[in-house]
Amino acid sequence: MKITKSIFGKTNEGVEVDLFTLTNDNQLTVQITNYGVIITSIVAPDKNGQLNNIVCGFEKLENYLSPEYLGSYPYFGSICGRVCNRIANGKFSLEGKNYSLAVNNGFNALHGGLIGFDKKIWTAEIIEGPDKVGVNLSYLSTDMEEGYPGNLATTCTYTLNNKNELTIEYTAETDQTTIVNLTNHTYFNLTGGNEPILNHDLELNAKTYTESVEMIPTGEIVPVKGTPFDFQTKKKLGKDIASLINGYDLNFVLKHADGKLVYAGCLSEETSGRMVEVYTTQPGIQLYTGYWIPELTIDGHKKFGSYSGVALETQHYPDSINKPQFPSVVLSPGQKLNEKTVYTFGTK
């Protein structure tokens, strides 16, 4: 196993950004930048040993900064926070105080605001151990940044081992009561981007989902059985997608033991033989099939577009701060947030 560091580019303000390349002994390579803590690439072998990048991302920082990409922004590979997913009307109350956030997704606040964790430069420290390599990234979100109270010290640690496990660990501490919900927004395409994701098979360890109206949970948790949202046994993403206007974009409730790492699901693709299993301590997982991913021209070639990747975002439920019956996203002084997600790659 090894890890290397290189220059990924410079921001529009001239700040240098790094790229970290993690490689294990099984030809699995993960690239991560300290800009937005983005997973830019995961190169994995298929059943015949052919290597391909199996996530949506770019080879140059300038593509992540381009107006074309940001104009229909899909958050490729980034860490979303301080609060991922949606907060209804961009408003919440905490300890008797009312807070208003930027409304950046219809009437709602999405993925931490206008300049969320996905657009910040994090401080990086390389990890080299006997059984893993990785990078520890940290960021201090100051009081009232994007409208959130408290100075929040956040770390995100990526590690890769020879079991083909990519582990993402989040920690956070605050000096005022605040709200936190962190996720990684990587989009997978196990064909290496050669085909849309509609023929991928998905299994989810979820009997229920959070019922939503216009992307905001009603507060009701309802069964998946008999709906297009039933992935209790694996099925193709495209099987029932025609019944959904914009494909899948929904939070599933995991069979969850509080604080324990549990199996969340498995994405696989028959032609390549590739598969990725997801394990998490988080209570939910957002399935998003990427209807709104823009088609982009990169170095003269058209790439991406609708259904070019599928995101499996482990998280707390959307709008949890306004739904007291949901698992809490409140973090108080003296508490420490600890969450973990593991993606395990393989072939079958």
Return the H-helix or E-strand segment holding 71.
Answer: helix 67-71
Pull the structure tokens for residue 149.
């109270």
Pull the structure tokens for residue 179.
């709200």
Residue ranges in 184-255 assigned as alpha helix (H): none
Label the pairing between strands 337-347 and 330-331. Answer: unpaired
Q: Which residues pair with 109 in a beta bridge?
A: 87
* Closest-CA residue to 321 (of 142, 166, 104, 149): 149
- Phi and psi angles of residue 287, each rounded to the nearest 5 degrees, phi first: -95, 115
Pull the structure tokens for residue 124.
């990086």
Q: Which residues pair with 280 in a beta bridge?
A: 262, 341
- C-beta separation of 317 from 251 below 8 A: yes
- Tell me how far apart the alpha carbons of residues 134 and 142 are, in angstroms, rounded to a whole number: 26
How many other β-carbons are positioned within 10 Å of the β-carbon of residue 171?
17
Catalytic residues: 185, 313
Residue reference for tokens 């032609």:
271
- Tell me how far apart the alpha carbons of residues 146 and 152 are, in angstroms, rounded to a whole number: 12
- Tell me how far apart the alpha carbons of residues 158 and 38 are, in angstroms, rounded to a whole number: 11
